Each structure stands twice: as C-alpha cells, then as structure tokens.
Amino acid sequence: MPSPTSNTTPTILAVGAAGHFASLVVPELTKRGAKVRGLIQHPEQSCQVIKNGAAEVAIGDLTDRASLDAALKGVDSVFYISPAAMTNEVEISKSVVDAAKQAGVRRFVFSSLIHPIIGAMVHHIDKAPIEEAILASDMEFTFLHPAMFFQNFTADQLTDIAKRGVFSQPWSIKTCFSRVDYRDVAEVAAIALMEDRLNYGTFELCAENHLTGKDVAALMGEVLGTKIEALKANADETADTSKDTGNEQQTSPMQSMFDWYDHHGLVGNSLILRAILGREPRTLRTYFEELSKKL
C-alpha cells in the first residue's frame, strides 16, 4: 500500500466529516492534495461535505460494520474523532480500529483529549483503551491530545453573554484551563495524515495561556466593549448530576467532570503546538473577535 507521503494521492477517510470538528480537517487535507472520503450518517449532509472539499462521500453508521467496511475500502489513512456523548464509546471505537486494520489501512490519526489518564472523568479515561487498541493494531498512528476547544463558545452564546453581562460556568471561576482552536488541531491532523514527521507520536495541543473563568469574562468584556461578570452556575441546572441507586446516590459523569474542573482545572503546554505549526497558535482573543463580527 502506498505511503501517505508517496507520489500516489492517498485516500483518507474522515470519520464524521459533517461534524463540527472533523469538518475542519477535510479542507486542511484537500489543500495538501489528499483525496478525502467523508463518512457521514445522513445523506442530506453530503452537499456540505463535498463543499468542504471531500472528493467522495460514504453513508454509514459506526455501529454498522458492513457500512464501515464499505467506507474503508481502498483507504490509506483514517482520521477519527469520537462523536460527542456517544454511548459505548470504547467498544464502538475499538470496532472502528479493528475495521481499519482489517481493511489494510496504513495510518490512523486519533483526535483524543488532553490528559486521557484522568480516571475521574469518563470522557477522558475512555480514550485510553481506544489508544491501546490502536497501538495493538500495529498501524502507524498519531494521537492528538487537544485542550478545551475554542469552538465550545458560539456566536449565539456570546450574544447572550453580552446581553446579560454575565459569563457563567458550572465550576469554579478561579481554576485554570488551557484551550485550543480546533482549526489549529485540524492543521496538525492534516500534517500527521500527509507527512511522516508526526508518525508514532502523542502530542498535547494547547494555545498560549492558562485562563480562569474570570480571565475569560474579562477577555470577552474587552472584545465586546462592556463589563462581563464571571459567575459559577448551579451545576444542577446544567446536567443530571446524580442517579439514585437504592439508598445511595451515584455521581453522574457530568458531575464528576464538574467536580474535577472545580478543584483542579485542566492545563497543558503550548510548546508542542507552536513547534508543529511553525507559528503562534490562534488566540482566544482573536477567536472572540471573530465571533463578535457575527453578532
């Protein structure tokens, strides 16, 4: 099978190509000359995926092995990010890895999360067995460990924050977080899929600065030209925080995440992202400035 860096144009499967994040990887790949096949679940998403630069579209479901096998036929490399809030994430993702291996895929790039060893947060620790399955597959691999995404903030949210003058989150406004623009992550993913220099690597991807909720509110205020107050919201209003189990209460995954954020935050280092891109990563200020133009 041709290497992704050979003279033969590689066919790369972007899983979930219509999603918020995999859709950002597609144009980064096409600008580098890749032939992208976008795996989507709904046919009506096809036009947007083609518009983003995909040469082909495959309709399928990650739980349907036959459709997954069809999507992987003739594929050199795979970009994979687990769908948000997917139930049975580990088993489904391991099935994707197995299908890729059986299809003869050479390279697998997995967009995981920063610090996937944190057992207190299910959506983090569940990434570890997926990475293990990729390692055991003997495919070439790259693991991306991005911090919180800038894209978790939307123009609609910023509009609401500007109207109310309040930025709230269901954890402490004093703990620090690293964040990253997923467009930068998408560029790293494309490099990993099209070049050899990131092969067999695990890369923490963070923009500059560790910001508290107060810092984020202040930054929003500077961009919007108004005072924004930072408040800790009631977690009970944000998620189903507990489940009754007889006489005991079991903390939900969402509440466990809030508890970790409340006490520890989630921080990383920007050096790796800067080194890979060969430039400064995008900043949260610039991202807010972009959003403010849509208000």
Helix (H, G, I), strand (E, B) or coil at 131: helix
- pLDDT at residue 236 in the model: 61
Strand order from edge to edge, sheet including 56-59: 56-59, 35-40, 11-15, 77-80, 107-111, 140-146, 201-205
What is the distance between the alpha carbons of residues 207 and 227, in angstroms, rounded to a whole number? 25
- pLDDT at residue 254 in the model: 87
The CA angle 110-83-30, to the nearest 5 degrees, is 55
Q: What integer best gives the mean pLDDT of the chain?
A: 92
The CA angle 240-291-45, to the nearest 5 degrees, is 70
The parts of the chain modelled with pLDDT lower than 50 are: 1-5, 239-250
Contact 144, 110 (CB under 8 A): yes
Write down the CATH number for the domain with range 11-150+179-206+267-281.
Answer: 3.40.50.720
pTM above 0.75, yes or no: yes
- pLDDT at residue 252 in the model: 81
Spans of all domains in the chain: 11-150+179-206+267-281
Phi, psi of 267 (to 5 degrees): -125, 155
Phi, psi of 231 (to 5 degrees): -135, 150
66-103 pLDDT, tens digit each: 999 999 999 999 999 998 778 899 999 999 999 999 99
Instruction: Give a three-class secondary structure readout of 10-78.
Output: CEEEEECCCCCCHHHHHHHHHCCCCEEEEEECCHHHHHHHHHCCCCEEEECCCCCHHHHHHHHCCCCEE
The rounded Cα 173 to chain-centroid distance in angstroms is 23
- pLDDT at residue 166 in the model: 98
- pLDDT at residue 185 in the model: 98
| Closest C-alpha to 198, from 146, 140, 243, 253 | 140
Could you say which DSSP state residue 204 is in?
E
Q: How far is CA 67 from CA 73, 110, 204, in A?
A: 10, 20, 32
Residue 88: enclosing H or E segment and its boundaries?
none
